Amino acid sequence: MAVQIHHGDILYAIDKDNLQSYTDSYIVVADGKVEGIYDKIPPQYADAPVTDHGRGVIIPAFSDLHVHASQYVERGLGMDCLLYNWLNDYTFPQEAKFSDLEYAKNTYDAFVDDLILNGTFHACILATIHRPATNYLFSKMEEKGLYGLVGKVNMNTASPEYLCETTEESLAETEEFLKEHMNTTTVKPIITPRFAPTCSKELIDGLGKLAEKYKVGVHTHVVESKWEAQEALNCFPGYGSDSEIYERAGLLDHGPSVFAHVIFPTEEDIRIMKKHGTVAVHCPDATTNVIAGIMPLSALQDSGVNVVVGSDVGGGHHLAIYKQIARAVQLSKLKEFYEPDVSKTISFANAFYCATKVGGSVFGKMGSLEEGYHFNAIVIDNMEDKGIQLTPAERVERFCYIGDDRNIVARYIDGKPL
């Protein structure tokens, strides 16, 4: 058994209301997983190597449950547009470039490096319709040891001609993609219809059959804007909600189901998500940049829906999930101020919990530093003013508001330093 010990301050979320912190403590990692946290090194581990992080705070690595790797070079562009124009004027032309594998490699290399730089080691990722480029992203994530759910995007209607598949092409390419990645390690495939307005019923139903055949989940956008929510029902007459489109196709029964944004959920959307254990992804920056709506986060939690956090780059303008933690608190205040009967302000602990423990749970025992969890962790330092000592929770909260990647002084995946 390979044992290593890390000394420092330690912080993780127990639940949405409570953070657990330890000061001047030792976390024992055995074969890449947390064995325990102690105030002194246990005698049986007296000979194990110790890494001293001083007053650095050891926290779980972040999870990004909704991000478009292909839109990485778009971040910070077109932010004065709303969703429909932003897609047509910026995003669709950008994604068409991924037919060029060399272009895709350059973008995906930079994207993966930036994930690591910002402490995100688990991610649910949309690529594009192009299978060779998506395969490269998949292999790059695995090469770096990151945990991921990666999807080849499906879209066969109401899309630009240069980015529109036939139904037969979309299903065949998706099945080939799934077959190629059935025996991978840390990265798994996921079915990825872009959203209902760009997918025919025939395509959605076909994807449902593939989900059953290959036992994989689904990642898509749901009720992300008033336009999208209405357009989904226009495209699928006879359906009662956006979520029902995916449920009736059998896409929610065979693996993780990840719904991005969920800003205008109906009672039926909530019922379906709760029934299938679907996670709702809060993407604060994208919400204010191109969507113009705020997720009712606390109300979804109160209804029994698990909420996680996503950067939604390029609708979001930065890959750092820690910045989304801060923004989630800010937006919850605005939501309560303007709609006090809809949703309430959340705490920093709650936002941190969504971005670590709940998000990590989609990939396994990740997102916490409790016994048995993967030691996927980062160390935060240099967040105190001279002569003033802050608690571990205060330092991490400050990091989420004013820190950057320079404050991440160490990174570990399964106990191995990056």
Please report where in the chains the tokens 């044992």 appear, as a residue. 3
The string of DSSP codes covering 323-391 is HHHHHHHHHHHHHHHH-TTT-----HHHHHHIIIIIHHHTTSS-S--STTSB--EEEE---S-TT----
Strands (E) located in 174-232:
187-189, 192-193, 218-222
Q: What is the mean pLDDT of residues 230-237?
A: 93
Superfamily grouping for domain 62-361: Metal-dependent hydrolases (3.20.20.140)
Which structure tokens are listed for 393?
Answer: 């929770």
Residues above pLDDT 90, as percent of the chain? 96
Confidence of residue 291 (pLDDT cuts 50, 70, 90): confident
Residue 81 and residue 2: Cα distance in Å, rounded? 52
What backbone torsions phi and psi does residue 255 show, to the nearest 5 degrees?
A: 175, -175
Per-residue model confidence as pLDDT tens digits over 106-159: 999 999 999 999 999 999 999 999 999 999 999 999 999 999 999 999 999 999
Has residue 296 got a pLDDT over 90?
A: yes
Which residues contact residue 198 at a Cβ distance below 8 angstroms, ignoring those fewer than 6 apart? 155, 156, 157, 158, 159
Q: What is the mean pLDDT of residues 237-258?
A: 97
**Helix pair 201-214, 167-180: axis angle to 10 deg:** 20
Please report where in the chains the tokens 């105190």 appear, as a residue. 384
Segments of the chain assigned to CATH 3.20.20.140 = 62-361
pLDDT confidence of residue 83: 84
Instruction: Report the predicted TM-score, pTM, of the whole model to 2 decimal places.
Output: 0.97
How many C-beta neighbours within 10 Å does residue 260 have? 28
Q: Give residue 318's identity as a one-letter amino acid code.
A: H
pLDDT confidence of residue 215: 97
Which structure tokens are listed for 218?
Answer: 């689904």
Nearest one of 74, 93, 86, 87 to 163, comparing CA atoms: 93
User: Beta strand pairing status for 279-282 and 257-261?
Assistant: parallel
pLDDT confidence of residue 226: 86
Confidence of residue 23 (pLDDT cuts 50, 70, 90): very high
The CATH class of the 3-59+367-417 domain is mainly beta
Residue 322 and residue 319: Cα distance in Å, rounded? 9
Alpha helices in 152-195 (DSSP H): 167-180
Segments of the chain assigned to CATH 2.30.40.10 = 3-59+367-417
Q: Are 137 and 125 in contact (CB under 8 A)?
A: yes
Per-residue model confidence as pLDDT tens digits over 328-343: 999 999 999 999 999 9
Q: What is the mean pLDDT of residues 225-234?
A: 89
Q: Give residue 10's identity as a one-letter amino acid code.
A: I
Query: Across the strands, what pairs with 279?
Result: 258, 306
Mean pLDDT (the chain, rounded): 97
Confidence of residue 348 (pLDDT cuts 50, 70, 90): very high
Region for 197 from its dihedrals, namely left if φ exceeds 0, alpha if ψ lies in -120 to 50, beta otherwise:
alpha
Q: What is the mean pLDDT of residues 380-388?
A: 96
Has residue 292 got a pLDDT over 80?
A: no
Distance set, CA 129 to CA 95, 124, 329 (Å): 8, 16, 34
Residue 386 and residue 389: Cα distance in Å, rounded? 8
Residue 228 or 221, more confident:
221
pLDDT confidence of residue 82: 86
Least confident interval from 215-224, 288-297, 378-387 = 288-297
What backbone torsions phi and psi does residue 409 show, to the nearest 5 degrees?
A: -100, -10
Residue 29 and residue 51: Cα distance in Å, rounded? 11
Confidence of residue 1 (pLDDT cuts 50, 70, 90): confident
Region for 164 from its dihedrals, namely left if φ exceeds 0, alpha if ψ lies in -120 to 50, beta otherwise:
beta
What backbone torsions phi and psi does residue 5 show, to the nearest 5 degrees?
A: -130, 140
Which structure tokens are listed for 258?
Answer: 């990840």
Least confident interval from 198-207, 222-231, 375-384 = 222-231
pLDDT confidence of residue 358: 98
Confidence of residue 262 (pLDDT cuts 50, 70, 90): very high
Nearest one of 42, 58, 34 to 399, comparing CA atoms: 58
Per-residue model confidence as pLDDT tens digits over 48-101: 999 999 999 999 999 999 999 999 999 999 999 988 899 899 999 999 999 999
Which residues contact residue 222 at a Cβ distance below 8 angstroms, ignoring those fewer than 6 apart? 195, 242, 243, 246, 259, 260, 261, 262, 265, 269
